[in-house]
């Protein structure tokens, strides 16, 4: 590697033009290394893309893919896997770029139409993947700097671009990939030392990736929680041993949530009712163990007690096919109003939760009452509920 840097420096100092691929002498710049890391990247990107799609359609339902409340841990699995594999793409992409970047200097830059499309697809693949990793990681760190574009729509669109570019790239490189994977890391006895360096690089890249997984997965894999040094959240740290996404103060509901004159307004086909917290606690109580799974990648199981939503639906004159519009005390914000589809509203596990892990809800967890439903993205588990509007049964 030292030789390599000296070569390149010499070219620059003597004004001999940009470096050529042969100036990069490290044995790590080798198609066998590039292809092996490529296989790991292909697997991680594939899993990341598919779990991301499922998560996306869970938050933005589409008619052709009816995702319901089962299994209760579904979103926890898809979103946890999505964020984890996306995070692992960072060390993997860096390793692959390092082993492959000398090829950027090959001459001539374009050797015909096919080669041009090949290079463009590589450019698009790198740009789109870096964009996805950067926006995804910013999101997991609760950093939302996008004033000019929405995160969800952009991350979703660029995902298709990067997967399209990945497929093109694999198609163009298929002969090289087959050749490279079919060959051992060293050519012959004479190449032994070089082969060892290639192997060491791959082991290093793998170790960094596995280490990143180990230090991140604890945000959702409970036994690893003490190792979650690279994750913004731990599943057991927060009021009532559960993390908080948005606090009551940030949502501007500190006063309204603590107001003893709070009433739950339930509106439906048979009219309007206003229920105090005391009246709600007198209704039939149900207790469910259900996860909160945030789009940011952390998730945790908790024990929730409260009134099944379907009891409130029938109180308001609705039925098993009614949907429920949930409105929060929160005035602004994307998640101040959410819609519970009928499959969730009718599920006996979907609660208007009043208590968490055996205590009254902390105000940051949604006191006086919040929604908790199985297999729902965290963003739709509305806190500080003020009003439920029950739709009539479709005739």
Binding site for Mo ion (CB under 5 A): 245, 294, 378-379
CA distance 158 to 184: 36
Tell me how far apart the alpha carbons of residues 325 and 327 are, in angstroms, rounded to a whole number. Answer: 7
Candidates 47-55, 159-167, 202-210, 382-390: pick the segment binding ligand MTE (CB under 6 A): 382-390
Cα Rg for the chain, rounded, in angstroms? 27
CB of 393 to ligand MTE, least distance (A): 27
State the DSSP H helix or E strand holding residue 325, giving kind and residue range, or none if neither.
strand 324-328
- C-beta of 162 vs 381, nearer to ligand MTE: 381
Q: Which does 369 bind (CB under 5 to 8 A by kind): ligand MTE, Mo ion, none?
A: none
- Tell me if 244 contacts ligand MTE by CB under 6 A: yes
Q: Output 31 or 364, the one with its CB closest to ligand MTE.
A: 364
367 binds ligand MTE (CB under 6 A): no
**Residue 209 lies near ligand MTE (rule: CB under 6 A):** no
How far apart, in whole angstroms, are the C-alpha atoms of residue 39 and residue 35? Answer: 6
Binder to ligand MTE among 384, 386, 388, 390 (CB under 6 A)? 384
Q: How far is the CB of 88 from ligand MTE (least distance, A)?
A: 22
Contact 321, 266 (CB under 8 A): no
Shortest distance in whole angstroms from residue 334 CB to ligand MTE: 7
Chain positions 302 to 361 lying near ligand MTE, rule: CB under 6 A, are 328, 330, 333, 335-336
Using DSSP's 3-state secondary structure scheme, residue 288 falls into: strand
Q: Which does 330 bind (CB under 5 to 8 A by kind): ligand MTE, Mo ion, none?
A: ligand MTE
Positions 269 through 308 that interact with ligand MTE (CB under 6 A): 292, 294
Length, in residues, of the chain: 395
The span from the CA of 276 to the CA of 278, in Å, is 5
**Three-state helix/strand/coil letters over 106-154:** CCCCCCCHHHHHHHHHHHHHHHHHHHHHHHHHHHHCCCCCCCCCCHHHH
Query: Is the CB of residue 350 less than 8 Å from the CB of residue 374?
Result: yes
Asked if 381 interacts with ligand MTE (CB under 6 A), we say yes
Q: Which of 88, 177, 231, 251 binds ligand MTE (CB under 6 A)?
A: 251
Strand duo 385-390 + 264-268: pairing: parallel
DSSP 80: H
CB of 280 to ligand MTE, least distance (A): 18
Binding partner of residue 163 among Mo ion, ligand MTE, none, CB under 5 to 8 Å per kind?
Answer: none
Of the two residues 44 and 363, which places its CB atom closer to ligand MTE in the complex? 363
Read off the DSSP letter of residue 221: S
* 365: contact with ligand MTE by CB under 6 A: yes
Token pair, residue 226, equals 């003490």
Nearer to ligand MTE, 186 or 330 (CB): 330
Q: Among residues 80 and 378, whose Cβ is nearest to ligand MTE?
A: 378
Query: Hey, is 370 helix, strand or coil?
Result: strand
CB of 54 to ligand MTE, least distance (A): 17
């Amino acid at each position: 590697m030292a030789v390599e840097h000296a070569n390149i420096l010499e070219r620059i100092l003597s004004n001999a033009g940009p470096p050529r691929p042969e100036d990069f002498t490290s044995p790590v710049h080798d198609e066998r290394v590039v292809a092996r890391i490529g296989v790991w990247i292909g697997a991680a990107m594939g899993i990341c893309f598919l779990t991301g799609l499922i998560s996306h359609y869970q938050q933005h339902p589409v008619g052709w893919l009816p995702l319901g409340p089962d299994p209760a841990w579904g979103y926890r699995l898809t979103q946890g896997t999505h964020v984890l594999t996306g995070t692992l793409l960072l060390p993997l992409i860096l390793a692959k770029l390092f082993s492959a970047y000398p090829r950027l200097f090959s001459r001539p830059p374009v050797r015909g139409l096919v080669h041009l499309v090949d290079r463009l697809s590589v450019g698009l693949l790198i740009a789109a993947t870096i964009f996805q990793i950067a926006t995804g990681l910013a999101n997991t760190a609760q950093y939302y700097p996008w004033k000019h574009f929405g995160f969800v729509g952009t991350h979703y669109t660029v995902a298709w671009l990067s997967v399209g570019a990945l497929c093109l790239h694999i198609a163009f490189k298929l002969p090289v990939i087959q050749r490279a994977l079919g060959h051992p890391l060293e050519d012959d006895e004479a190449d032994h030392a070089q082969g060892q360096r290639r192997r060491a690089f791959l082991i290093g890249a793998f170790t960094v990736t596995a280490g990143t997984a180990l230090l991140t997965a604890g945000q959702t894999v409970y036994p690893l929680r003490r190792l979650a040094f690279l994750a913004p959240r731990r599943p057991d740290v927060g009021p009532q041993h559960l993390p908080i996404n948005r606090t009551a103060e940030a949502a501007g509901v500190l006063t309204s949530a603590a107001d003893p004159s709070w009433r739950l307004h339930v509106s439906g086909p048979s009219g309007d009712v206003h229920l105090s917290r005391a009246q709600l606690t007198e209704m039939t109580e149900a207790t469910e163990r259900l996860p909160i799974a945030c789009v940011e990648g952390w998730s945790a199981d908790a024990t929730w007690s409260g009134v099944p939503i379907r009891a409130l639906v029938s109180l308001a004159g609705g039925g098993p096919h009614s949907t429920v519009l949930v409105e929060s005390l929160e005035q602004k914000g994307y998640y101040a109003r959410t819609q519970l589809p009928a499959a969730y509203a009718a599920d006996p596990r979907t609660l208007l939760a009043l208590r968490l892990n055996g205590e009254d809800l902390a105000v940051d967890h949604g006191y006086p009452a919040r929604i908790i439903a199985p297999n729902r993205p965290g963003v739709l588990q509305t806190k500080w509920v003020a009003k439920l509007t029950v739709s009539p049964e479709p005739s």
